[in-house]
Amino acid sequence: MTHSNRNGFALIAVLLLVVLVTALGAAFFALTSREISNVRASADQASGFYSAEAGLNIRGEQIRSVFQGYSRPSGTSPDDAGDACAAGNTGAGDFACRDFEFNNRTISTYVVEDPRNNDPDDAERTLTIPPGERFAGLNAIQYRYSVFSEAYAPVDGRPEAILEMVFRTRLVPLFQFAAFYNKDLEILPGPNMTLAGPVHVNGDLYLNANNTLEILGEVSVSERGDGTGGDIWRGRKDNTGECTGTVRVNDGNPSTNPNPALPCPWGNFEESQLEDWGERIRIREDPLTVPPVEEFDPGGRYWQEADLVVALDLRDGLTQARAIVPQRSGSFQPNEILTAELEQCAGVAGRSYEVRSHGNGQIDGMPPLPDEADRRAVEWSNSFRDRRESGAAGNRWGWRLMLEVDVGAVMDCLHENPSLFADGGTSPQGLNDTSNGGLVWYFTVLGDFEDDPRSGYGVRLRNGAYLGSNAPGAPEINGLTVVSNHAVWIEGDYNSNDNLWRPASILSDAINILSNNYRNNWQAHEGSITGASFTNVQAAFLSGTRTTGGQDGLGGQGGNYNGGLENYPVFHENWSGQTLRYRGSFVSLEEPRYSSGNWSGSYYNAPGRDWGYDTRFNDVANLPPLSPRFVYLLQERFVRDFTR
């Protein structure tokens, strides 16, 4: 082969190689471009899917929040047979189309209500939550909804993801728990103690005993809103390292006798250590949302819904103090017509209080109470010495300014003066009112210190052994809920006769219990604690409670003890050798706002505690009026539509 031929062959080979490399490069580029395009498309689809899912979650939460505010969602949905959410087809109210922006995408959503929600014969509206589900055995009211969500990219009119979620909203009354705390809970009884109902905590649960504590209901602990907590600790919170006694929890197996015990040493449990209890002990659950405490303030939901509102008005000074029926809005000025009617209502029970000068220059010159023969259904006093609140004689808050409520006399008054119902006018309501499940009374104190953490204000309920009127022709009540933004005192038996029992609850900043014997010894209370006697109280409680160490979580461990569940009600007497019988439910949403005294054993001696959950609350018909509740969502079906 000649030299020129060899050169020509080499040139052709090089050219072929260049062509081949170019072709391979082009193919690789095309493949890479296609792969990048596929990856980008896949990423876009994933982003669209998650964005549409966020739309579902937001609309579901909005529906839940409406129920949390004691309302039902209302409105109209867009016509999904047409182009839902197009112009002129957007629906209205809680079900209307709403757009959100996520990940540079527009998320279009709307809600469709299940028609069974409006069927009065719907057999599944009120249900007992079935075994195996969260809160099994409790009663709930449920409603069904479907949420639709579509995600649109900014440069494409077609949806990247079309999702549907079908869910149930369940409303569960808080008073179906033996104890429900929206904060850390400590159950540390001295004598043997049995809790028959379920226990739930948003925070941490501490269990300890000097003898034996047995919980027969399910136990659930949720994390706090910030993701901390959700643990069960065996031992004390205030004394880290101390673990004593026996703590048993029902495992749901009738053949297990006795129920298995949560073992020491001090510390918290992992889920693997709780397998013997199955679903009857659950930890680190999602938090449950409870009603905000502002609902119990003047002007809030309970104030507006109450059948009767009465206030001790101190705004013009102590010498002008009086009980009024306030207007429901504005600055809560007296409704003088209704106040005059209230002033004519006679009292029934004897007094265990007075208006007096304590010689400290702050409360001289007050008018005395009417003569004993001229008692009123609602009066006021300043003679209660509150040692829990550092009640030294010179402290303003040491002597409680109290609205004094004769429960039986108020019942008689309402029966004879129905215009007092619902802020005036001729009212169709009566003692057998069924709105909100029965009667709701709201009591408060209006004065210079009403927002002070040491307000020194309070409300006392007396003559409440029978919740009803003895007036001729008076009907039985369906139930009674008493609400106050200040501390409430129960003096003597309350709703105590099982044959005459009515659903009852007390919702207040703090709850204090005085025995039947207090009315005989009250005048000695200024000098020393007085002797108590057997007392029977049957009502659900919702109030603030102090927190060990001043804070929830690990930061409160080792701090000053708050008294535990066994000191949920505040005592002021010498209960040695005497028993407090209590049937009800303990709910605590936060610390007290106007009762700042810390727990101490120096101002009382503890009663014998015959305490138990009132199992009558397991029947939703026996719940107190306007019972607070939490709401949770249960997903029933999740669907992705690929047809468009």
pLDDT tens digits, residue range 153-180?
Answer: 887 778 888 899 999 988 899 999 999 9
Residue 39 has pLDDT above 50, yes or no: no
pLDDT tens digits, residue range 411-430?
Answer: 999 999 998 987 654 456 78
* Burial 457-469, CB ≥16 within 10 A → b, else e: bbbbbbbbbbbbb
372/269 same-domain check: no
> Looking at this protein, which amino acid is placed at residue 277?
W
pLDDT, average across residues 233-248: 96
Q: How confident is the model at residue 31 (pLDDT cuts 50, 70, 90)?
A: low
Share of the chain above pLDDT 70, in %: 88
- Virtual CA dihedral for 521, 526, 528, 533, nearest 10 degrees? 30
Output the pLDDT for position 159: 86
Residue 343 sits at φ, ψ, to 5 deg, of -65, -20
163/262 same-domain check: no
The residue segments making up the domain with residue 639 are 37-78+92-173+627-644
238/343 same-domain check: no
212/344 same-domain check: no
608/635 same-domain check: no
517/644 same-domain check: no
pTM of structure: 0.84
455/598 same-domain check: yes
Q: State how far the Cα of 527 lies from the Cα of 142, in Å rounded to an integer.
A: 55
Q: Would you say residue 404 lies in a domain?
A: yes
Q: Would you say residue 32 lies in a domain?
A: no
Number of Cβ within 10 Å of residue 292's Cβ equals 14
Output the pLDDT for position 456: 87
Task: Report the half-sphere exposure of 313 (CA within 13 A, side-chain side).
Answer: 17
318/245 same-domain check: no
Share of the chain above pLDDT 90, in %: 56
Q: Would you say residue 233 lies in a domain?
A: yes
Output the pLDDT for position 287: 84
Output the pLDDT for position 367: 55
- pLDDT: which is higher, 264 or 64: 264
Q: Would you say residue 30 lies in a domain?
A: no
537/552 same-domain check: yes
pLDDT tens digits, residue range 278-305?
Answer: 989 999 998 888 888 899 999 999 999 9
Q: State how far the Cα of 425 lies from the Cα of 338, in Å rounded to an integer.
A: 9
Q: How confident is the model at residue 525 (pLDDT cuts 50, 70, 90)?
A: low
pLDDT, average across residues 124-149: 88
pLDDT tens digits, residue range 616-637?
Answer: 998 888 999 999 998 888 888 8
pLDDT, average across residues 2-20: 69
Q: Would you say residue 359 lies in a domain?
A: no
Output the pLDDT for position 384: 85
What tokens does 305 get?
């819904």
Output the pLDDT for position 7: 61
Q: Is 70 helix (H, G, I), strand (E, B) or coil?
A: coil
Residue 235 has pLDDT above 50, yes or no: yes
Whole-number average pLDDT of the chain: 87
Q: State how far the Cα of 161 lies from the Cα of 43, in Å rounded to an integer.
A: 12
Range of weakest confidence among 60-64, 244-248, 488-492: 60-64
169/278 same-domain check: no
435/379 same-domain check: yes
316/410 same-domain check: yes
Output the pLDDT for position 361: 33
Burial class (CB in 10 A: 0-12, 13-18, 19+), 319: exposed
Q: Would you say residue 304 lies in a domain?
A: no
What tokens does 242 get?
């101390």
Q: Would you say residue 12 lies in a domain?
A: no
- Among 251, 206, 200, residue whose Cα is nearest residue 222: 200
Output the pLDDT for position 394: 56
Residue 194 has pLDDT above 70, yes or no: yes
pLDDT tens digits, residue range 499-509?
Answer: 999 999 999 99
Output the pLDDT for position 362: 42
Residue 529 has pLDDT above 70, yes or no: yes
According to DSSP, the β-strands at 378-385 and 399-406 are: antiparallel
Q: Would you say residue 299 lies in a domain?
A: no
Quote the number of domains for the chain.
3
- Percent helix, strand, coil in the chain, to 5, is 25, 30, 45
